[in-house]
A and B are shown apart, each in its own frame.
Chain A
Amino acid sequence: GQSLEQPSEVTAVEGAIVQINCTYQTSGFYGLSWYQQHDGGAPTFLSYNALDGLEETGRFSSFLSRSDSYGYLLLQELQMKDSASYFCAVSSGGYNKLIFGAGTRLAVHP
């Protein structure tokens, strides 16, 4: 089967940097994705890593280490609007199938 672990809650202040970690156990791994979901909203796609290393997209970066079955999402210059839940997800058991973690709730304070 598959399992993903990520912290349930993270708190940070505006302007700071926060890292949300994700470890996974799965077979047939294809890649690691990150999604953001505001309360009451739909999940939105942030990033996808298939290869080891860091991918940067504006204030957000995502990292993957396949050998360690580990990845993280890095959010820089935090803004109040970044308060949301962040989910890591693995593509496994089929290229098109995403299995999601339980999510990390990020609270950004002034």
Chain B
Amino acid sequence: GAGVSQSPSNKVTEKGKDVELRCDPISGHTALYWYRQSLGQGLEFLIYFQGNSAPDKSGLPSDRFSAERTGGSVSTLTIQRTQQEDSAVYLCASSSGQGASYGYTFGSGTRLTVV
């Protein structure tokens, strides 16, 4: 596609429920990233994919968080047993694999609210 697409754009869930967030990167972009942004804060790195593998998942906050990428394209971030502190905007970005020099293209994010 022309840009990075994320769905849903908004998600309200009850504490304890599982949620799945989807990211569809720019076609041909081999690198994919997930970040989390709390209100008025910076971007917190979660996980990085190169193709289907995740060389760096050091930012995942707990074992309730997992992510996968299939076909070198779509990625899903899953949060199990959601907690109120999980409320944030989850941003996905992709790049052409040339590192940061060419810039990341971000999606508009999924705003997750845990009630």
Residue of A nearest to B107 (CB): A42
Residues of chain A with a CB closer than 8 A to B107's CB: 42
Q: Are the C-beta atoms of B42 and A43 separated by less than 8 Å? A: no
Question: Would A98 and B45 be within 8 Å (CB), given that A42-B91, A48-B100, A50-B101 are in contact?
Answer: yes
Question: Would A30 and B99 be within 8 Å (CB), given that A42-B109, A43-B106, A96-B31 are in contact?
Answer: yes
Find residues 34-58 in chain B having any chain A CB closer than 8 Å to their own CB.
35, 41-45, 48, 50, 55-56
B95 CB within 8 Å of chain A: yes
Complex CA–CA separation, A93 to B99 (angstroms): 12
Complex CA–CA separation, A96 to B56 (angstroms): 10
Q: Are the C-beta atoms of A96 and B106 separated by less than 8 Å? A: no
Residues of chain B with a CB closer than 8 A to A42's CB: 4, 91, 106-109
Contact with A along B1-45 (1 / 0, CB 8 A): 000100000000000000000000000000101010000011111
Contact with B along A19-50 (1 / 0, CB 8 A): 00000000000110101000001111100101
A71 CB within 8 Å of chain B: no
B103 CB within 8 Å of chain A: yes
| Chain B interface size, under 10 / 10 to 19 / 20 to 34 / 35 or more | 20 to 34
Find residues 82-108 in chain B having any chain A CB closer than 8 Å to their own CB.
91, 93, 95, 97, 99-108
24 inter-chain pairs at a CB distance below 8 angstroms, sorted by A residue, are A31-B99, A31-B101, A33-B100, A42-B4, A42-B107, A42-B109, A43-B104, A43-B106, A44-B106, A45-B103, A45-B105, A48-B103, A94-B48, A95-B99, A96-B50, A96-B95, A96-B97, A96-B99, A97-B45, A97-B48, A97-B56, A98-B45, A100-B43, A102-B41
